[in-house]
C-alpha cells in the first residue's frame, strides 16, 4: 500500500548560494554556498529517493514504474510516463542569480531532444530587508535590441525590479525573463526540466574561477517580448482555507495558513498532491490510516489513490503550499 512519502533533499552548491537552507530544514552539513535544495525531483541524474518506511531508498522514477497512475494519477502517467511531472526546490540567494529565460515546450522539444520546457512559480518564504528579484520587461524591445543591451551591459534597465517580502508570489511562464535577487529565500515549483538559458551574469565567475557561459543567441527566440503592467501575482490570504495562488496547465498551487485542522477532499482529483511545509509544524493524515509529521522545510508526496488528507497544526500553527497537476 502506498503512503505519504518523504524524500531526501538533494543539496546544490552554487556560486550565489547562501547559508539558510540547512538550518531551515534542520540539516547538519559541511557544505557551504548551498543555493538549492531539490526537494522532489525526477530529473535524470538527480532523482529523489524515499526517506523512511517500506519504500526507503527507492527513486521516484522506480516508484512510478511500479505504481504508475496509482502514484501520480492516470492522466499524468499517460502524459509524462515514468518522469515525475514537477520539480520542487527551495532556493537561497546570497547574491543575484543570473538573468535567465526558459524555453517553452515546443522550443525545448525542437532544440533538446524532446525535452519539456519550463514554466515555474516562486513563493517567497522569507526575505532580507533589501531583498529583490526581477521579472518581466518594462518596455517593448526587439530581439536585436535585447542582444545589444546584453552586449553593452544595460539589460537590467528594461527589467522590472521588485522589492519583495515573505508571502509574495510570482508566476513565470516559459519565455519570461527573470532573476532571483539577493536576500530571497524561495520555494520554487516548476515543470520537470533543467533547461536554462543564461542571459546575463553581472560579470561573475563560476566556482571554477571562469566566466559562466551566456546563451544570448539561444535566448532570442525563447523570450516572450510581451510587456505587462505588473508581473506579481495578487491574492487574498484567508486563514484556515485553501488560497489558490497559481492555476495553470502545468500545476495548481495553493497556500494554507492553519491554526486548526483542515480536511482536503482529493476523491475527484486524478493526481498526486505535493505538500510543502514553509512554517510551523503539525501532521498529515490520510483516509488509509497513515499519519506523518510535518515540520518546516519538509516536503511530502501524497499518492494519487488518496481520497482525503487532513492537515493538523501544532499549537504554533502551520503554513503549507500544496501543488498538483490537473
User: Whole-structure pTM over 0.75, yes or no?
Assistant: yes
- Cα dihedral: 203, 207, 209, 213 (round 10): -50
Domains of the chain (ranges, CATH numbers): 5-233 (2.60.120.10), 243-324 (2.60.120.10)
Residue with cell 527513486: 59
pLDDT, averaged across the chain = 96
pLDDT value for 74: 98
C-alpha cell at 71: 502514484
Residue 104 makes CB contacts below 8 A (sequence gap 6+) with: 117, 119, 173, 174, 175, 222
CA dihedral over 156, 132, 116, 57, signed as positive or negative: positive
C-alpha cell at 27: 540539516
pLDDT value for 99: 97
Residue 211 has pLDDT above 90, yes or no: no
Higher pLDDT, 205 or 9: 9
**What digits encode the pLDDT tens for the residues 76-96?**
999 999 999 999 999 999 999
* Residue whose C-alpha is closest to residue 276's, from 241, 238, 302: 302
Q: Strand, helix or coil at 209?
A: coil
**What digits encode the pLDDT tens for the residues 282-304?**
999 999 999 999 999 999 999 99
**What digits encode the pLDDT tens for the residues 216-268?**
999 999 999 999 999 999 999 999 999 999 999 999 999 999 999 999 999 99
Q: Name the residues annotated as catalytic.
A: 198
Backbone angles phi, psi at 133, to 5 degrees: -150, 165
From the number of C-beta atoms within 10 Å of its C-beta (0-12, 13-18, 19+), residue 10 rates as middle
Amino acid at each position: 500500500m502506498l503512503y505519504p512519502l518523504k524524500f531526501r533533499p538533494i543539496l546544490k552548491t552554487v556560486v550565489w548560494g547562501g547559508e539558510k537552507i540547512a538550518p531551515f530544514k534542520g540539516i547538519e552539513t559541511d557544505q557551504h554556498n548551498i543555493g538549492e535544495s531539490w526537494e522532489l525531483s525526477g530529473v535524470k541524474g538527480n532523482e529523489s529517493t524515499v526517506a523512511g518506511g517500506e519504500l526507503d531508498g527507492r527513486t521516484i522514477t522506480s516508484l512510478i514504474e511500479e505504481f504508475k497512475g496509482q502514484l501520480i494519477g492516470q492522466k499524468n502517467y499517460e502524459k509524462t510516463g515514468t518522469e515525475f511531472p514537477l520539480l520542487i526546490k527551495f532556493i537561497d540567494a546570497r547574491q543575484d542569480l543570473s538573468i535567465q529565460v526558459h524555453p517553452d515546450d515546443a522550443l525545448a522539444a525542437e532544440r533538446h531532444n524532446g525535452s519539456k520546457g519550463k514554466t515555474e512559480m516562486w513563493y517567497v518564504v522569507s526575505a532580507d530587508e533589501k531583498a529583490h528579484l526581477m521579472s518581466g520587461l518594462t518596455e517593448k524591445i526587439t530581439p536585436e535590441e535585447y542582444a545589444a543591451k546584453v552586449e553593452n551591459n544595460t539589460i537590467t534597465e528594461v527589467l522590472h525590479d521588485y522589492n519583495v517580502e515573505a508571502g509574495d508570489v510570482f508566476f513565470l511562464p516559459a519565455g519570461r525573463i527573470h532573476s532571483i535577487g539577493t536576500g530571497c529565500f524561495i520555494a520554487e515549483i516548476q515543470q520537470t526540466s533543467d533547461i536554462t538559458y543564461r542571459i546575463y551574469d553581472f560579470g561573475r565567475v563560476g566556482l571554477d574561477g571562469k566566466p559562466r557561459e551566456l546563451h544570448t543567441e539561444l535566448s532570442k527566440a525563447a523570450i516572450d517580448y510581451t510587456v505587462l503592467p505588473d508581473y506579481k501575482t495578487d491574492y487574498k490570504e484567508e486563514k484556515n482555507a485553501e488560497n489558490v495562488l497559481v492555476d495553470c496547465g502545468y500545476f495548481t498551487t495553493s497556500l494554507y495558513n492553519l491554526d486548526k485542522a483542515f480536511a482536503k477532499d482529493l476523491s475527484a482529483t486524478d493526481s498526486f498532491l505535493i505538500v510543502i511545509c514553509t512554517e510551523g509544524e503539525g501532521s498529515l493524515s490520510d483516509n488509509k490510516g497513515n499519519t506523518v509529521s510535518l515540520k518546516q522545510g519538509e516536503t511530502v508526496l501524497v499518492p494519487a489513490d488518496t481520497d482525503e488528507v487532513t492537515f493538523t497544526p501544532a499549537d504554533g500553527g502551520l503554513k503549507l503550499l500544496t501543488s498538483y497537476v490537473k
